[in-house]
Structure formats: C-alpha cells, structure tokens
C-alpha cells in the first residue's frame, strides 16, 4: 500500500543547514510543503529570507507560501553564527541567474502558522529546525490548532550528551543546553505542555552526522546537479567549525524513517538559571519520541542520491 503523503510546514531559522534541510524536503516525493516560515534566530532575517526565496525559485517552487517571523527569544544567537545567512544568500549556486521567488505572505510568524493550519485539508506536520517560539505563541493565541497538527518534528535539545551552548560565549551558562532550546526555553516548556504529538531530534543523534571532508568531496564530484553544487558550496563555508548535519538529519526522517532508532522518554526543560534551556529526562514529564541513533553511512548515501537531481 502506498504511504500517505504528509503535509509539512517548515519553520526554520535560515542558517546553512536549515536552507539545505529545505532543499532536501523539496525532493521528498511523499511530502507536500504547506509553507515555509523564516525565524530570526540563528540568522539575520533579511538575507535568510532572500536565500530562501532564491532556493524556492531555483527549484521552481514559487507556489509555496513563504513568511517572515519577528519573534524574539530571551537568549540571542551570537552574531558569529547569524552571519552565515549572508554567506548563503551570496552563494554562486543561488545567484547564477535572476530568479523571482514567491512573494511574502501578508501574515507573519504565529499568525501565518495559524492560518496555514486552519486552511489545511489534513493534519499538518510541523518541521521545526529552529526554536519553538512561533508554535508556542500560536498555541497561546489559538489553542484549537492543537488538533490540526499531526506531529511536531523538532531539531533541538540534548538529553544524554553535552549541550552546544559554549559558556565562553554565554557567560553564566553551564553548557548543558542546545541552542534551539536555549534561545527560548519557555517556548519549549509551552509546547511540551500541549497535547501535540512531539518527535525530538536532539544532539544525541544529530551530532553523529558531521560534515566530513569525504562527504564534501563526494558532493563536489556531482556538482553538475544544482542541489549538490549548492550543498558543496554551503557546507564548505562552515565545515571548519565542526559543523554537523543537524537539520538535514532531522528532515531525512520524513523520507527514510527506517534509518532511525527512537525511544519514548519523559522530557522536561529548565527555564531559568545556569542550565536554562537544558532538556532533561524527567519522570512524570511529557512523553515524546526521541531519536537516539541513525545509520550514518546510509544517511550520507541517501543525501548524495537526493541531491543528485
């Protein structure tokens, strides 16, 4: 029996890996994209929006609704991270021709999310590769949307591994949190308090998939394909930093779920103090599906195949 097509709305924050996650999402046959929302977390908003429009135009998908968000978290990403949006927007693979992407939707942030959920013909999967702030605010504004969400698929958190918030860059933090959770810990708490089905891809699994020199070489050798060319250029710009395929790995689950191992866990989040943003196993906490392992080499092969189009 053929698998039912998923209707997916992506909320991303416009970094290198977010843009490539969108580039992967648009290649998955069993997915219909209901919209893309760009959040100014790990990016500067305008270049991230520009790069997203160029990518949608490159793939002839200017029919996909695109919106901006202006939500803010309590712990801003460092400028060093956010500047990558300018790099992506100027990559040759996105600027070799003049292409007109989709116009911006009139609504922003939570309002866009609510409208797209209300208009959808079936329950929507929310793919969130940035913070959960838009969803948290949308749930506060319109609690009835809970029943319109098939599940939330979130790249965020760290359970049994250290976080990636560097105490050197964030004095006063203990380094236990992952950045998407740390940007807005109360938003994580709000979404966990809802009844929306929740699937979490923490650092425990996503950091098992680094951007390796071998992966970059294989992408370079198939640069005749536009998405491979884009991926090779984008990841080459950040590979020096120990970059991983966090968002792309999360998105790949929608196409190749058999590559992943999950565990049901009771989860909570610290919202204050030196460990704010830390996601923890918490007896009595919210039951969620947590990705704990992935077949790494098979995932690399899948990505090379998906972007060879």
Domain boundaries in the chain? 6-306
Query: In angstroms, rounded to a whole number, what is the distance separating the alpha carbons of residues 64 and 33?
Result: 7
For domain 6-306, give the CATH number.
3.90.245.10
Instruction: For residue 1, name the pLDDT band (cuts at 50, 70, 90).
Output: very low
pLDDT at 309: 83
Kind of pairing, strands 260-269 and 279-281?
Answer: antiparallel
Find, among 94, 84, 118, 116, the residue nearest to 16 by Cα: 84
Could you report the per-residue pLDDT of 144-192, keeping only the tens digit for each?
999 999 999 999 999 999 999 999 999 999 999 999 999 999 999 999 9
The count of other CB atoms within 10 Å of the CB of residue 281 is 12
Residue 271 makes CB contacts below 8 A (sequence gap 6+) with 185, 186, 189
Mean pLDDT along residues 243-263? 98
Q: How many residues does the chain have?
A: 309
Instruction: Report if pTM > 0.95.
Output: yes
Instruction: For residue 100, name the pLDDT band (cuts at 50, 70, 90).
Output: confident
Query: In angstroms, rounded to a whole number, what is the distance separating the alpha carbons of residues 143 and 122?
Result: 18
The answer to whether 299 and 256 have CB atoms below 8 angstroms apart is yes
Q: Is the sign of the CA dihedral 245, 246, 247, 253 positive or negative?
A: positive
pLDDT at 99: 87
Query: In angstroms, rounded to a whole number, what is the distance separating the alpha carbons of residues 242 and 209?
Result: 11
Residue ranges of alpha helices (H) inside 237-309 are 246-252, 296-306
Instruction: For residue 2, name the pLDDT band (cuts at 50, 70, 90).
Output: very low
Please report, to the nearest 10 degrees, the dihedral formed by the alpha carbons of residues 97, 238, 82, 52 taken in order.
30
């Amino acid at each position: 029996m053929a698998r039912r097509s998923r209707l997916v709305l992506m909320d991303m924050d416009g970094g290198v890996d977010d843009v490539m996650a969108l580039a992967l999402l648009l290649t998955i046959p069993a997915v219909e994209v209901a919209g893309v929302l760009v959040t100014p977390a790990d990016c500067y908003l305008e270049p991230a929006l520009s790069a997203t429009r160029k990518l949608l135009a490159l793939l002839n998908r200017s029919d996909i609704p695109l919106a901006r968000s202006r939500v803010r978290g309590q712990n801003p990403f460092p400028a060093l991270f956010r500047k990558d949006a300018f790099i992506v927007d100027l990559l040759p693979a996105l600027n070799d021709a003049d292409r007109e992407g989709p116009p911006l939707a009139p609504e922003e942030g939570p309002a866009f999310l609510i409208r797209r959920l209300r208009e959808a013909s079936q329950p929507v999967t929310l793919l969130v590769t940035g913070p959960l702030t838009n969803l948290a605010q949308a749930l506060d504004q319109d609690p009835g949307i809970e029943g319109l969400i098939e599940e939330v698929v979130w790249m965020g958190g760290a359970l049994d591994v250290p976080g990636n918030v560097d105490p050197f860059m964030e004095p006063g933090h203990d380094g236990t949190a992952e950045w998407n959770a740390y940007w807005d810990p109360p938003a994580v708490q709000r979404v966990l308090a809802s009844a929306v089905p929740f699937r979490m891809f923490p650092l425990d699994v996503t950091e098992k998939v680094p951007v390796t020199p071998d992966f970059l070489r294989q992408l370079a050798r198939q640069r005749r394909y536009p998405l491979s060319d884009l991926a090779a250029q984008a990841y080459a710009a950040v590979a020096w930093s120990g970059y991983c395929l966090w968002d792309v790995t999360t998105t790949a689950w929608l196409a190749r779920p058999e590559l992943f191992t999950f565990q049901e866990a009771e989860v909570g989040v610290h919202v204050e103090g030196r460990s704010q943003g830390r996601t923890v196993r918490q007896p009595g906490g919210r039951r969620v599906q947590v990705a704990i392992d992935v077949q790494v080499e098979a995932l690399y092969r899948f990505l090379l195949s998906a972007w060879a189009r």
